[in-house]
Copies of this chain bind each other. A is one copy, B any other.
């Protein structure tokens, strides 16, 4: 077994190991029954952390390529399950289907194993998470939701379990128009589509707009999950870079618009994911004007609009649009919790109609109870009240993280303090190995998302995304302390490699 790892690649080392073992199994180099070296031994030989090898083995096991047996170690499984000593219940001559070969092409492009694998990294029990933004509604909201649900069961007991129109309950669509008014958006109920979470919005837009080969412009960096969805439909993504203030380079955008004809421009102008920054009003206006001029459309993803802690509200691009060039996507998940599965989309009627056909095929309609409950929360004013609580809570957490980042300052690490949203986007000191940082942070008991998957074209490993809204207040300082320790660990290890056994990383091993 000949494994070569390179620390220069943007591919995490555990994936480099996974890929090479997988290839060796497929090309027959490692036959069924071959015993792989124990994790610890392979880790020593490759000069990597043991958890790196562990992660590679976990991936290969989940793919059904290897298995660990007590007393026998980790062995390569037969590629064709028919070769195994068949279970006694099986009819002679038959075997389970070769599932891998049956899966569609796009089902492989769909999954980004990196993020899933990172999230499944073995963590310490006391680990502090700055990775995913899954809010906790808190005890106060829980009580309110319970009360509203009680009332709902009395008032709507008949219709609570029945189907609704695919587009959603009309009175909820009206309530959402009221909610959008506060953002400066004037839309009619017929221009609103209720979604089972905003992820579904991305999915439906992908179905309805993207043909293989279509070009999509995105901000560089942008939300990885949306990019993943576009890519899975065969779209070609092109990233529009930002200037040093984080504002979109409109000059570059314009020359790219003239050259390529993108199907759409996907942006998150307010408290962007991952950068946390806000697109200036002036830039929004010129972006919209360019969309008009080059006859393309804008998809504005706006989950964090209501979460501003300082500065002034900048109206959504959708609010400025006079020629129906914007499809607007938003959600209540960041306010109430992901469990409700509720989001919405605002667009011209003809677009809503086409998206509703796609939604009908996807899930017929959104949970009736979630729809009625959300309508009550908006109309009763409880959502507004709760939003004020959340703003205070998240603002406090942001301040705690900002304070901790100052306190445990790392030379060469830069970041911009956001005015809202839930993320701080940090640029790490030059030359730091992102994958190693990831594993060392896990060892130290803190997690976050690495910046790499947020880039559409050129992967940049220098960034990390820290979520401040979901960690407990009293753990934020400690979390940042651990993170900074992990940074130092990684810098020290690098120095060691550079002075000591640096060449080893590129040598063929075993």
Contact = CB atoms under 8 A, between A and B. Distances in A.
Interface in A330-362: 336-341, 348, 350-351, 353-354, 357-358, 360-362
B161 A107 contact: no
Contacts of A157: 142, 146
A339 B369 contact: yes
Interface string A144-158: 011001100100011
Contacts of A244: none
A266 B129 CA distance: 44
Interface stretch (A207-215, A397-405, A438-446, A477-485): A207-215
B208 A362 contact: no
Interface in A223-259: 225, 228-229, 232-233
Contact of A106 (B207, B362, B365): B207
B197 A364 contact: yes
B162 A337 contact: yes
Contacts of A150: 150
Contacts of A163: 134, 337-339
A366 interface: yes
A293 B358 CA distance: 36
Contacts of A134: 162-163
A322 B95 CA distance: 9
A295 B94 CA distance: 9
Contacts of A296: 97
A257 to B, nearest CB: 14
B102 A232 contact: no
A325 interface: yes
A136 interface: yes
Interface residues on A, range: 35 or more
A362 B362 contact: yes
Given A90-B322, A207-B106, A263-B102, A62 B353 contact: yes
Given A90-B323, A292-B91, A161 B337 contact: yes
Interface in A94-109: 94-100, 102-107
Nearest to A207: B107
Contacts of A105: 211
A117 interface: no
Contacts of A164: 339
Nearest to A203: B362
Given A157-B142, A232-B361, A103 B341 contact: no
A235 to B, nearest CB: 10
A237 to B, nearest CB: 16
A356 B213 CA distance: 26
A354 B103 contact: yes
Interface in A71-93: 89-91
Contacts of A175: none
Contacts of A323: 90-91, 94-97
Interface string A256-278: 00000001100000000000000
A97 B297 CA distance: 7
A84 to B, nearest CB: 12
Interface of A: 62, 64, 89-91, 94-100, 102-107, 110-111, 116, 134, 136-137, 141-142, 145-146, 149-150, 153, 157-164, 196-197, 199-200, 203, 207-211, 214, 225, 228-229, 232-233, 263-264, 292-293, 295-297, 322-325, 336-341, 348, 350-351, 353-354, 357-358, 360-370
24 contacts: A91-B292, A94-B292, A94-B293, A95-B323, A96-B323, A97-B296, A97-B324, A97-B325, A103-B209, A105-B211, A106-B207, A107-B354, A107-B357, A107-B358, A134-B162, A134-B163, A197-B363, A199-B360, A199-B362, A203-B361, A341-B365, A341-B366, A341-B367, A367-B369
